[in-house]
């Protein structure tokens, strides 16, 4: 079996400071996309669709979890490496 092109594992995104009012935009999101697959992301308003796409596209950093693009863990990359 081939490695996924996109592999999202237990991704979390929390807005706000610890101990204060926090907003959990993503809670434990996991999925993988194989080469050649078509994917649709659907859900009600406020469910985290845009946040997920921003994390995958490196516009935003995940609070926790792992996002791998073509085998590279982008969650461990520094800002200068992402471009």
CA dist., res. 3 & res. 51, Å (int)? 24
Residues 33, 39, 44, 50, Cα dihedral to 10°: 70
User: Which superfamily does CATH assign the domain made up of 6-82 to?
Assistant: P-loop containing nucleotide triphosphate hydrolases (3.40.50.300)
Count CB-CB contacts under 10 A for residue 67.
23
Secondary structure class of 46 (helix, strand, coil): coil
Q: Bigger pLDDT: 56 or 78?
A: 56
What pLDDT shows up at residue 15?
93
Q: Quickly tell me which residue has 């594992």 as its tokens.
A: 9
User: 13-67: per-residue pLDDT in tens?
Assistant: 999 988 788 999 999 999 999 999 999 999 999 999 999 999 999 999 999 999 9
Confidence of residue 1 (pLDDT cuts 50, 70, 90): low
pLDDT value, residue 26: 96
24 forms bridges with which residues in the sheet? Answer: 14
Position 79 confidence tier, pLDDT thresholds 50, 70, 90: confident
The pTM score is 0.88
């Amino acid at each position: 079996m081939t490695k996924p092109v996109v592999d999202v594992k237990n991704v979390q995104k929390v807005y706000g400071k610890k101990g204060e009012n926090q907003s959990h935009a993503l809670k434990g999101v996991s999925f993988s996309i194989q080469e050649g697959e078509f994917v649709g992301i659907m859900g009600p308003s406020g469910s985290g669709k845009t946040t997920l796409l921003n994390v995958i596209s490196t516009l935003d950093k995940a609070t926790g979890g792992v996002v791998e693009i073509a085998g590279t863990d982008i969650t461990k990359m520094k800002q200068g490496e992402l471009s």
